[in-house]
Amino acid sequence: MLDIKFLRDNPDIVKQNIKNKFQDEKLPLVDQVIDLYNQSLDAKQRAETLQANRNTLSKQIGVLKGQAKKNPAEAGELEAKIAAITAQVNAEAEERKVLEDKADDLSRQVRSIMLQIPNIIDPSVPIGPDDSHNVEVQRFGEPKTPDFPIPYHTDIMEKLGGLDIDAARRVSGNGFYYLLGDIARLHEAVLAYARDFMIDRGFTYVIPPFMIHGDVVEGVMSFPEMDAMMYKIEGEDLYLIGTSEHSMIGRFKGQILEEEQLPQTLTSYSPCFRKEKGAHGIEERGLYRIHQFEKQEMIVVCKPEDSMDWYEKLWKNSVDLFTSMDIPVRQLECCSGDLADLKVKSCDIEAWSPRQQKYFEVCSCSNLGDAQARRLGIRYRESFVDAKGKKKSKTVLAHTLNNTVVAPPRMLIALLENNLNEDGSVRVPEVLRPYMGGKEVLAVKG
């Protein structure tokens, strides 16, 4: 969410940003919210003027009452003046209440509209209407294709005795799965390795709540994202998280951190629950788009001047992790039209699929600037020296960033395809073997 004062002072910048995101239907919101904000300021100022006048009139009443006690002969005349002033105070009190209610209503309207206006994107973001205009930046690792056919990932898993989708459909419906045996163990090995990988890079491991209140949902994501993703608990103000970023950022809601507490570098595990609305093609069957999965995430809360450096570090962590498991990847810069409204800059890390002969998304790294911090009130105390040489402090909105570490079982697709042997067995990457009891190969089940 933008600062309303910035929007009012820079409407043309905000409108151009909306155009750059190909959301022209939101252009009228800029002038509308400025008008509502000005009306709210006017109502507040008039209410404050009436309150100041009440204070003045109250003092006059006190003076008149004192005079009436000292001069009984003038008491009648003075009582009449007191009654007139009291009537004015009461009338202005009613008017002030109307103005305060109007100001509160206008402020709610302003916030509602501000939540719909996208964040200002970074100048480096490529301009384009949708993900077809995302830009490949660089590749890591050599994409290879074996000289034998690679089955669909569900077939690979089933031959290893590791997947039962039919039973999951009977129990839960489409978009669910049972992982079994070596595949289930591999799934957990990847998560454990990712956890230790991030801890070794200085991140603090966290297991957060898996349900959050509605005000936290509003603070961390846009309405279209919420509608497309979140499951709500019926009869309660609780939502199942779609990613641990939601509850991790929510942890700092309404907090003022000390400067020395930043950056907060955290890696969190959670199950994730998503509606995944819409139809999906053949490459999104199986375990590509599902309603329930587990994920390791990385979260950073930092000073504004440090956020772009952390953005670079976060996506590079993903590259290092995947290439350590012998999975070639590429970095794809997200264009303006593919950015969610809260994002300043974002890139995807995509893994090579030898079967599809293309890359597909396995991580998404995002810098959200101060958008989430403004919605949730996440600040830190910054020290500075004023013009007179005195040391002072002020509160400043923090910046927030997030990136996927790994999200199995989707990433297992890339792992299995890139480590598949011709006989259907799968080589276990060396870094995962300690988490698999030393096992080097997953064998086909008879």
Q: Using one digit for the tens of pLDDT, what is the confidence trace for 6-17?
A: 999 999 999 999
Mean local confidence (pLDDT), 24-52: 94
| DSSP result, 131-158 | GGG-EEEEEES-----SS----HHHHHH
Is 285 a catalytic site residue? no
Q: Which residues contact 320 (CB under 8 A, 6 or more apart)?
A: none
Q: What is the pLDDT of residues 169-180, one digit of tens each?
A: 999 988 899 999
Confidence category of residue 278, pLDDT binned at 50, 70, 90: low
- The percent helix, strand, coil of the chain (3-state, each to 5) is 50, 20, 30
Mean local confidence (pLDDT), 189-213: 97
Mean local confidence (pLDDT), 239-250: 95
Mean local confidence (pLDDT), 390-407: 95
Same fold for the pair 4-114 and 131-442: no
Least confident of 228-232, 357-361, 393-397: 228-232
**131-442, which class in CATH?**
alpha beta
Q: Residue 285: its pLDDT value, please?
A: 67
Q: What is the pLDDT of residues 364-390, one digit of tens each?
A: 999 999 999 999 999 999 988 888 888
Q: What is the pLDDT of residues 127-159, one digit of tens each?
A: 999 999 999 999 999 999 999 999 999 999 999
Confidence category of residue 282, pLDDT binned at 50, 70, 90: very low
Residue 230 has pLDDT above 80, yes or no: yes
Cis bond before residue 149 (omega within 30° of 0): no
% pLDDT > 90, the chain: 79
Mean pLDDT of the chain, nearest integer = 92
Q: Residue 349: helix, strand or coil by DSSP?
A: strand
Residue 288 has pLDDT above 90, yes or no: no
Q: Residue 71: its pLDDT value, please?
A: 80
> Is 4-114 assigned to CATH 1.10.287?
yes
Catalytic residue among 274, 355, 374, 379: 274
Residue 310 has pLDDT above 50, yes or no: yes
Residue 201 has pLDDT above 80, yes or no: yes
Residue 405 has pLDDT above 50, yes or no: yes
Mean local confidence (pLDDT), 332-340: 96
Residue indicated by tokens 């898996």: 210
> 9 burial class (0-12, 13-18, 19+ CB within 10 angstroms)?
exposed
Catalytic residue among 48, 225, 361, 382: 361
Q: Residue 62: its pLDDT value, please?
A: 79
Q: Give the pair of three-digit tokens for residue 101.
A: 């209610």
Neighbours of 44 (CB within 10 A): 17
Catalytic residue among 96, 251, 374, 410: 410
Confidence category of residue 92, pLDDT binned at 50, 70, 90: confident
End-to-end CA gap in the chain:
56
Is 170 a catalytic site residue? no
Distance of alpha carbon 151 from alpha carbon 53, whole angstroms:
80
Distance of alpha carbon 143 from alpha carbon 358, whole angstroms:
9
Q: Residue 257: its pLDDT value, please?
A: 97
Distance of alpha carbon 246 from alpha carbon 233, whole angstroms:
16
Q: Give the pair of three-digit tokens for residue 354.
A: 């030898």
Least confident of 154-168, 244-258, 377-391: 377-391
Residue 223 has pLDDT above 80, yes or no: no
Catalytic residue among 111, 201, 285, 289: 289
Q: Which residues contact 243 (CB under 8 A, 6 or more apart)?
A: 270, 272, 295, 297, 402
Whether residue 153 contacts residue 287, with contact meaning beta carbons closer than 8 Å, is answered with: yes
Report the run of H or E that residue 294 belongs to, with start and end.
Answer: strand 292-302
- Specify the higher pLDDT residue, 63 or 27: 27
Is 410 a catalytic site residue? yes
User: Is the alpha carbon torsion for 302, 305, 311, 312 positive or negative?
Assistant: negative
Is 425 a catalytic site residue? no
Catalytic residue among 364, 366, 374, 417: 364
Residue 281 has pLDDT above 50, yes or no: no
Is 433 a catalytic site residue? no
Residue 294 has pLDDT above 70, yes or no: yes
Question: 355 pairs with which residues across the strands?
Answer: none
Residue 25 has pLDDT above 50, yes or no: yes
Residue 90 has pLDDT above 60, yes or no: yes
Identify the CA nearest to 251 among candidates 205, 296, 209. Answer: 209
Q: Residue 58: its pLDDT value, please?
A: 80
Domain ranges within the chain, ordered by starting residue: 4-114, 131-442
Mean local confidence (pLDDT), 333-361: 96
Residue 404 has pLDDT above 50, yes or no: yes
